[in-house]
A and B are shown apart, each in its own frame.
Chain A
Amino acid sequence: MTNAKLAYEETFDCVQCGYCLPACPTYVTMKTETHSPRGRINLVKVAAEGKLSLSELEDPINMCLGCRACEVVCPTNVQYGKILESAKAVLLEEKKKGMSKRARLFQAFFFDTMLPNKKMLKAAGVGVAAYQKSGLETIARKTKLLNTLPEKLQSFEKVLPDAEGLSKRKKRKTYYPAKNEPVFNIGFFTGCVMDTMFSSINTKSIELLQQAGCDVTVIKEQTCCGALQNHSGELDKTRELAKRNIKAFEQYDFDFVVNSIGGCGAMLVEYDHLFHGDSEWEERARRFSKKNVDISVILNQLSLPYKKAVNEVVTYQPSCHMSNVQKTVREPVNLIKSIPGIHLVELPQKDMCCGSAGIYNVIHYEKSMEILDEKMKSVKKITPKVIVTTNPGCHLQMKLGVEREGLTNEIRVVHLVELLAEACGMG
């Protein structure tokens, strides 16, 4: 275990102007400075100075979605992500000291074994459902690892996608050639939750890339991106996974490494941050990170063979990690607009997080639902027929929002890739 330290020096970059306040979803819903970016930065600072105990720091840090909308509006470029991650790592280290052996084992099992292990994820039925069905919920409750386990976990069940069943799901091949003269040679990053619960989106992503003129390779050596581990403060585990991915993709000469998962993509483009000052890995990580892009960046440069018009009013809920970390903002919008027949209406306050934030909505269910309710107020202002997302977490959360508002028959939630595939006449 590294000796985790709070990013104290970084807190001095904050001039406390407060420009981040209106951009912060938890400041809007929780209403106190304590739950704002400026507040959290200050608390990390005073905790580092010993004026606040780590247990007092815990709640404000844990309640942060990590959406990093604050970084985009910050006039002095404070590295909030770094400050937050340092606090998470310190808090986790502290917590582990006081954890029972059983709880430590569970934590280790969930992040080290279960998430990076596709077989296990598949067997369990994946993600939230996996969590319930596998009986982990009971274990977690007993070990008090997640002491705020939602009572309404079953609400997620209704919105879980009809995944390509284990038996039905075709075994993924390794190589998918371009349908015409290849423009780019692509390594496809599948993700772990994505490739089980939302595997059909990955299937469609690969097909769209082929149609647009890409040779696509799905290498078997790839593993989990490490985002969830990183958000939980498990820095060592994140680095381990990062190294495995870097090593795996280094063996090939891809033009780009492409994914359709806003959250994973954000982790991948920041791998270099994990190895700051590491002479062996920093440069390798930077090279790898530079190659990683969201699928929309690639498709936006190529042309898709649209076959039918989608005559619907759609809106787009950007993934925070895609906008704020990957800085991929225009490409998905351009792609949606390029679909024949489409009528795109901008979602008011689109830059506000939906409250999904990795597994935040599972761990902090009530707080997450308050944020979702704010989001749905915006949705109801424009009453779209389709909500487009670019990340599985947002996808589930928006479906849950639609369900909670009783709008399931009026509004459908799709991944951008699904909408594009529909317009291209794919199954």
Chain B
Amino acid sequence: MDTEKLVDLLKEVIVDHECILTDNADLHSYSYDASFGVHVPDVVIMAKSTIEVSNIIKLANEHEIPVYPRGQGTSLSGGPLPVKGGIVLDLSKWKDKLVIDPGDMVAVVSPGVLTAQINNAALEHGLIYPPDPSSSHVSTIGGNLAENSGGPRGLKYGVTKDYVIGLEVVTPEGEIIRTGGRTVKNVTGYDLTKLIVGSEGTLGVITEATLRLFPKPQATQTLMVLFEDVVVAGKAITNILSSGILPSKMEIMDQASIIAVEDYQPMGLPTDVDALVLIELDGHLAAIKDELKQVIEVCKSVGSREINVAQTKQEEAELWKARKLVSPAIVRVKPTKISEDATVPRSQIPEMFKRLQQIKAKYQVDLVVFGHVGDGNLHPNIIADKRDHEEMRSVEKAVEEIFRAAIELGGTLSGEHGIGTLKAPFMEMELGEVGLEMMKRIKRSWDPNNILNPGKIFPEPGQRLVLTDD
């Protein structure tokens, strides 16, 4: 169908015609996300109600036009990219509902509400919404749900899916369904809630979510531990966790990231250490005081080089600053940042570190490692220049080998960024032919015309990893 005809049909079901964008400048503005690839859609619609979404999807399904749900476009895996043309369904402007019910300890939200806003609203009632992707002040809850996002607090509190107990969803045929409810316990039938969360917008459009909230921990305590050997760091992490302490965050920075930060904004970090680990404990003040002692003991007993305990909130912020500076520090040499999230079982962290160093040497890529070490969700980042196609080919090979290493060590392709377009070529490597086929069957039965976010998760025949925009 030509775009003009499509727009005419859309105008019949959308009240505010200003929410339909067709200008060239607008279309180009919804052609990307925070990953790779540029795909210009035919039309962009900013939807603001369930009925509107339902009508759009019905129309799209009838005419077999692809629809791509989109939040604020912070995806690192290509989730919202309109790879086959059609309609970008922007849900980021639909943020009218953010209700906190302290009695039921739930939040009920529209898809466009920013994740950090949910946590801020919960805090007013002494509660928290624990999932904390580092983009939570930008990303929408709809996007987080679709991608099942995690964050540093995942170690103790789990990820997005662990907090979703009910959804309102528009199916690929435009029907409106509700899954789950408002109770923590609910075993009525298949758990469609969990099926939709993390389905990357391929099975339905989430139009409302009911989220669990937790009591706010009374206090936090941060410490920084330096290790001369990453194997020792790995040992310390394992020993802390097996001593009965569950920190709220455990973040690691490798030597390359420490050097990058020191070159960028000197903070007095020693650049001859192999790893820096930031640990945050949370809970009752008396409890974390005791836990802090134990953590220090464990670190010392395995042979940490230096331990720095934050005495004030300001010092706490100062310690975390090192971690925050990694991103701006590493892109100073070259602008393109390929952020991976391959995840391995905790026991394999030292081995994964070793493999990453080998890959770095083999392909001569600029690789730094930092990330959520407590749950094995490392972020190997490769710094390159996407204008240099030859370099990008090496990077693609290095990334492929990172995936292979993670899977060989019993881990996974993606801990929290999602599969999208980027990792689709590697799905079979992790899931096997039948495993992947079972997922495809689910997709086919939910979305017979393949209109919802086509081109994601499942590889096209012959598809390979491409890290350039053209």
Measured CB to CB, the residues of A under 8 A from B are: 12-13, 15-19, 21-22, 31-34, 36, 38-39, 42-43, 46, 51-53, 56-57, 59-60, 75-77
- List 12 interface pairs A-B (beta carbons < 8 Å), by A numbering: A13-B331, A15-B331, A17-B135, A17-B138, A19-B135, A21-B72, A34-B26, A43-B25, A57-B25, A75-B327, A76-B335, A77-B331
B14-35: which have CB < 8 Å to A?
Answer: 21, 23-26, 28-34
Measured between alpha carbons, how far is A36 from B92 in the docked complex, in Å?
Answer: 13
From A15, A43, A51, B29 is in contact (CB under 8 Å) with: A43
Q: Is B58 an interface residue (CB 8 A)?
A: no
Does the CB pair A18–B74 fall under 8 Å? yes
Does the CB pair A77–B328 fall under 8 Å? yes
Closest A residue to B138 using CB positions = A18
CB distance from B132 to the nearest CB of A (A): 15
Q: Which residues of B contact A32 (CB under 8 A)?
A: 21, 26, 29, 46
Q: Which residues of B contact A15 (CB under 8 A)?
A: 34, 331, 335-337
Does the CB pair A76–B328 fall under 8 Å? yes
Q: Which residues of B contact A31 (CB under 8 A)?
A: 46, 93
Does the CB pair A42–B29 fall under 8 Å? yes
Q: Which residues of A contact B72 (CB under 8 A)?
A: 18, 21
Does the CB pair B29–A34 fall under 8 Å? yes
* Number of A-B residue pairs at CB separation under 8 A: 83
Whether A12 touches B387, Cβ cut-off 8 Å, given contacts A18-B135, A32-B21, is yes
Q: Which residues of B contact A76 (CB under 8 A)?
A: 327-328, 331, 335, 337
Measured CB to CB, the residues of B under 8 A from A are: 21, 23-26, 28-34, 46, 72-74, 90, 93, 114, 135, 137-139, 327-328, 331-332, 335-337, 385-387
Measured between alpha carbons, how far is A60 from B23 in the docked complex, in Å?
Answer: 11
Does the CB pair A17–B25 fall under 8 Å? no
Measured between alpha carbons, how far is A19 from B32 in the docked complex, in Å?
Answer: 15
Measured between alpha carbons, how far is A21 from B331 in the docked complex, in Å?
Answer: 20
Measured between alpha carbons, how far is A132 from B328 in the docked complex, in Å?
Answer: 47
From A13, A52, A77, B28 is in contact (CB under 8 Å) with: A52
Q: Which residues of A contact B331 (CB under 8 A)?
A: 13, 15, 76-77
- Given A18-B135, A75-B327, 9 other A-B residues pairs in contact with their CB atoms under 8 A: A12-B387, A17-B34, A19-B135, A19-B138, A21-B138, A31-B46, A34-B29, A38-B73, A60-B25
Does the CB pair B29–A18 fall under 8 Å? no
CB distance from A285 to the nearest CB of B (A): 24
Q: Which residues of A contact B90 (CB under 8 A)?
A: 33
Whether A52 touches B24, Cβ cut-off 8 Å, given contacts A15-B335, A15-B337, A43-B29, is yes
CB distance from B11 to the nearest CB of A (A): 18
Does the CB pair B24–A16 fall under 8 Å? no
CB distance from A85 to the nearest CB of B (A): 19
Measured between alpha carbons, how far is A57 from B26 in the docked complex, in Å?
Answer: 10
From B21, B32, B137, B387, A22 is in contact (CB under 8 Å) with: B137
Measured between alpha carbons, how far is A22 from B327 in the docked complex, in Å?
Answer: 19
Measured between alpha carbons, how far is A259 from B427 in the docked complex, in Å?
Answer: 61
Measured between alpha carbons, how far is A59 from B25 in the docked complex, in Å?
Answer: 9
CB distance from A224 to the nearest CB of B (A): 33
CB distance from B46 to the nearest CB of A (A): 7
With most chain A CB atoms within 10 A of its CB, the pick from B137, B139, B335, B336 is B335
CB distance from A186 to the nearest CB of B (A): 31
Measured between alpha carbons, how far is A120 from B45 in the docked complex, in Å?
Answer: 50
Closest A residue to B71 using CB positions = A18
Measured between alpha carbons, how far is A12 from B90 in the docked complex, in Å?
Answer: 25
Q: Which residues of A contact B328 (CB under 8 A)?
A: 75-77
From A19, A38, A56, B25 is in contact (CB under 8 Å) with: A56
